[in-house]
Amino acid sequence: MLKSFLKRLRHIWHLVRRLSGDDAYERYLEHHMAFHANVLDAPPALSRKEFYKLWQANKWQGIKRCC
């Protein structure tokens, strides 16, 4: 009972983090590890701060909010 409740809570917390972009850097690192880390001469992963700047700029291209 308590266990499934905690599991549910964790799931919701996960969703909130994902929705807000709180976990964006962690997901970026995963993506980087999976696709770029093993490539020869690949640039190293961005730092948290560098990534955040790029991510933010990318997010606000185009129409993001309406009436």
Partner 1 sequence: MMVWHKKAMWFLVALLGTVAMAGIALHRGESINALWLVTAAACIYAIAYRFYAAWIAAKVLTIDTTRATPAERLDNGRDFMPTNKWVVFGHHFAAIAGPGPLVGPTLAAQFGYLPGTLWILIGAVLGGAVQDMVTLFFSMRRNGRSLGQMARDEIGAIGGTAALIGTFMIMIILIAVLGLVVVNAMKHSPWATSTVAATIPIAMLVGVYMRNLRPGRVLEASTLGLVLLLLSVLAGGWVDHHEGLRVLFDHDGLPLAYVVIAYGFAAAVLPVWLLLAPRDYLSTFVKLGTVFLLAIAILLLRPEIHMPALTQFVDGTGPIFGGKLFPFVFITIACGAISGFHALISSGTTPKLLANERDIRMIGYGGMLLESFVAMMAMIAATVLEPGVYFAINSPPGIVGKEAVDAIAKINSWGFAVTAEQMQQLANDMGEKSLFARIGGAPSLAVGMASIFGTAFGKSMLAVWYHFAIMFEAIFILTTLDAGTRVGRFMLQDLLGNFNKKLGETSYTPSVIITSAIVVASWGYFLYIGVIDPNGGVNILWPLFGIANQMLAAIALSVATGILVKSGKLKFAWVTGLPLAWLVIITTTAAFQKIFSEDVRIGFFAAANDLSAKLASGALPADKASVAQQLIFNQHLDAYLTLFFVVVLWVVVLDMLRVCMHSHVGRPVLKLSETPHEPSQLAENWVRD
Q: Which residues bind partner 1 (CB under 8 A)?
A: 14-22, 24-25, 27-28, 31, 35, 48-49, 51-53, 55-67
CB of 40 to partner 1, least distance (A): 20
Question: How is residue 61 annotated by DSSP?
Answer: S
Helix (H, G, I), strand (E, B) or coil at 14: helix
By C-beta, is 2 or 34 nearer to partner 1?
34
What does 34-57 look like in DSSP terms, one character per residue? HHTTTSTTPPPPPPHHHHHHHHHH
Q: What is the nearest approach in angstroms of partner 1 to the Cβ of residue 8?
A: 14
